[in-house]
């Protein structure tokens, strides 16, 4: 009985080290802002996609700023859509070149190739990085340091790739609080023309209510962090 429990404990600890939002085993990651400040960071992974402009229009209507972690291959395919994100005043971050899980190796190539393209497309290099699937691994910390990138996780993830818009909204609402970093998606890995209706519906559902009770919507870099 003790051996299975020990094995389960080791597996659980390893999973937390790799993907735990506050784990610093493979280097520190930002996962929330100052809980004393009524601000939230909306973040979107896996873009750009053909569906990104609809999300940008929605954010514009509510005066909300967000951070978009873009995949290099998607930027290569849709440079004008990628550029529109920063043109509208949002922040962009590095989400690797091909969205491969970094436990397979190749972190330097994945990060540097995306970083170079993002810098050319947006005119400035990203300062933030989010690992695909939130999975960090050996060697990533030194790679990020070489490129001047800070790792970002999340306070709450919407699971918008599998849930309905209403379910995503309720999941986010349960995890919202001052300083929260919310993780959503404006793409689906490398899929062309992804269906992100659940994401758009969830964002449309939560923004008015949060604004009405005094929340501001900031980029990750503009969140104030607890000292």
pLDDT tens by residue, 163-210: 999 999 999 999 999 999 999 999 999 999 999 999 999 999 999 999
Residues of the chain with pLDDT under 70: 1-24, 26, 226-227
pLDDT score at 138: 85
pLDDT score at 21: 67
CB 39 within 8 A of CB 33: yes
pLDDT score at 96: 98
Catalytic residue list: 45, 185
Q: Is 58 exposed, middle or buried (0-12, 13-18, 19+ CB in 10 A)?
A: middle
Domain membership of residue 67 as a residue range:
29-217
Domain presence at residue 40: yes
pLDDT score at 224: 78
Domain presence at residue 55: yes
Domain presence at residue 8: no
Query: How many domains would you assign to the chain?
Result: 1
155: CATH: 3.20.20.370
pTM, two decimals, is: 0.91
Domain presence at residue 18: no
Domain presence at residue 3: no
Domain presence at residue 130: yes
pLDDT score at 57: 98
């Amino acid at each position: 009985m003790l051996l299975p429990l020990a094995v389960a404990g080791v597996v659980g600890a390893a999973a937390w080290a790799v993907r735990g939002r506050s784990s610093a085993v493979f280097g520190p990651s930002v996962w929330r802002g100052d809980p004393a400040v009524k601000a939230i960071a909306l973040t979107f992974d896996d873009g750009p996609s053909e569906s990104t402009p609809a999300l940008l229009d929605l954010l514009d209507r509510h005066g909300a700023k967000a951070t978009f972690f873009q995949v290099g291959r998607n930027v290569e395919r849709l440079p004008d859509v990628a550029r529109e994100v920063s043109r509208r005043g949002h922040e962009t971050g590095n989400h690797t070149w091909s969205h491969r899980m970094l436990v397979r190796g190749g972190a330097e190539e994945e990060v540097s190739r995306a970083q170079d393209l993002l810098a050319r497309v947006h005119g400035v290099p990203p300062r933030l990085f989010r690992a695909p699937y939130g999975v960090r691994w050996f060697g990533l910390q030194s790679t990020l340091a070489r490129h001047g990138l800070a790792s970002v996780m999340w306070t709450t993830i919407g699971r918008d790739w599998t849930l309905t818009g209403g379910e995503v909204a309720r999941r986010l609402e349960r995890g919202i609080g001052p300083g929260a970093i919310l993780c959503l998606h404006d793409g689906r890995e490398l899929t062309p023309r992804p269906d992100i209706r659940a994401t758009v519906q969830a964002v449309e559902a939560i923004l008015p209510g949060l604004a009405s009770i005094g929340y501001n919507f900031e980029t990750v870099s503009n969140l104030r962090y607890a000292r």
